[in-house]
């Protein structure tokens, strides 16, 4: 039994109004916006929370951008799901390692199959 009127969520409001809930679109910020937001939060007299509010960004998001910018510098925001060079190399090496492991496992199985040939008798 479900009582939607007792559930405290936006979903229950949608059922009451008999309308469809629309998901918020994921906001995408440009590399320059992120960089300027981080620089503004560092150089401004305002607190980071105030800067985040003024820019319309959540405070945790601004903190995440700032820590990433401090750690990686100019390469922090490659944009649109792209990886920076170091991460690209890492992913490539992961793929190559996975392929090498698969080939090794296949060769092990083949060696096991061919080493036990049916014409051999070990009880002679």
Supply the pLDDT for residue 80: 63
| Cα three-residue angle 46-51-55, rounded to 5 degrees | 155
Contacts of 4-13 with C-beta under 8 Å, sequence gap 24+, read none
Q: What is the pTM of this model?
A: 0.47
pLDDT in tens, 108-123: 999 988 887 666 555 5
Mean pLDDT by 10 residues, the chain (124 residues): 50 56 75 87 88 91 88 72 76 95 94 76 55
With CA atoms as reference, report the closest residue to 21 among 10, 7, 29, 32: 10
């Amino acid at each position: 039994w479900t009582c939607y009127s007792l559930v405290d969520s936006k979903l229950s409001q949608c059922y009451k109004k008999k309308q469809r809930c629309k998901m918020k679109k994921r906001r995408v910020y440009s590399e320059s916006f992120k960089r300027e937001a981080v620089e503004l939060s560092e150089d401004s007299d305002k607190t980071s929370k105030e800067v985040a509010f003024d820019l319309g960004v959540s405070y945790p998001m601004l903190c995440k951008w700032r820590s990433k910018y401090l750690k990686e510098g100019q390469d922090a925001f490659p944009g649109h799901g792209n990886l920076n060079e170091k991460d690209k190399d890492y992913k490539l090496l992961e793929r190559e390692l996975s392929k090498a492991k698969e080939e090794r496992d296949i060769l092990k199985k083949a060696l096991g199959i061919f080493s036990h040939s049916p014409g051999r008798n070990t009880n002679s």
